[in-house]
Amino acid sequence: MMADQYTDVFQLHNTEKTMQAARLHERLASDGVRLGCYSHNCPAPCHPVHPSQCYSSTCRARRAALSKIAEQAAMVRSLREELKSTDGWELHRESSGIRTLSRRTVGDSHVMIRVEGHVDAPLLNILSVFYEVDLWRLWVPSIPIMGLRSAEMVEDFSTTRFTVQMTVNTPWPIATRDMMIHVQGVDCMDPAETADEPDGKRQIVVLLTSTDTLWGGDPAPPPDESVVRMGLSVGALILTPESINGGDTGTHLAIISKIDPKLDYIPTSLINLASKYMCWLFFDRLKKQAKIIKGTEYEARVEAGGRFYTYLKEKMTAINYTEPRSDVVPS
């Protein structure tokens, strides 16, 4: 029985149901059900006293997976909670329907930035603009001496988990920067995914964190010579479709990020100022691109299907989500 219960946790996570997996794990832990060799066929002997501390690679991997599920769920809950108010956030700019806020963390000179606003485009449009990494060049802010140089998906691990490498130009004498980013989409649209959420908001949360390893466990490709790798300790896109949350049309989008550009020799105040502006510009460009995908390569790729778009369309159909003004309607 124990084996089946924990197998269900892993199965939920492997089928992109992170929040349901986390809740089942929490319930099992609360009931005193422990993960150990006694709960499945372990290929190596148990620890003689504490089975949950078995030394076999199988058990270590299972414990690590449960820890990761708990970590991801905690991050999603924390980010969703952040959007409920602006307490502790300082308003930096509000223009073109986009609001930029920032917040300092004690002991950290880099600020966390939050950019949010209404996007007059359906969920599928916004997700396609973000998912098609090789097309970022069409909208991500870039000028000859500063901005995006390249972006590519270096690992397509599962339907909602992939790894992206982006390289950005910087003005002389600053070395070129790059970032390796774990991307994970977390479903908070289905009521079953948010059963423990008091406000009942139905959302999609896209977690973004810098990484040195791929989802599959292999080392990520190193940066090119003379390129400095940046860090992203907190990152997320939180999409709230208006129509399925009692509103009109379109999508409320929030982007939260905390970036370390590895520029210790430049005043932090200047870095924070530039980061706030670039985040606002990133949001503005994404917002505009999401509104004009009809007749473009984006629309062609959405219509062509594939694992990612098939999953999204099936999910939207299952929860009866429609967007009346969409120019790319799930079939």
pLDDT in tens, 81-94: 988 899 999 999 99
CA distance 88 to 82: 10
Percent of the chain with pLDDT over 70: 86
Q: Where are the beta strands (DSSP E) in 36-145?
A: 90-95, 98-105, 108-119, 142-143
β-partners of residue 90 are 102
Please give the mean pLDDT across all residues of the chain. 86
Contact 308, 159 (CB under 8 A): yes
CA distance 76 to 64: 18
- The pTM score is 0.88
Point out the residues of the chain with pLDDT beneath 50: 1-3, 325-331
pLDDT of residue 329: 41
Smallest Cα–Cα separation from 296: which of 328, 326, 324? 328
Contact 144, 138 (CB under 8 A): no
Task: Print burial letters for 168-184: b (CB count within 10 Å at least 16), e (below 16).
Answer: bbbeeebeebbbbbbbb
pLDDT of residue 201: 84
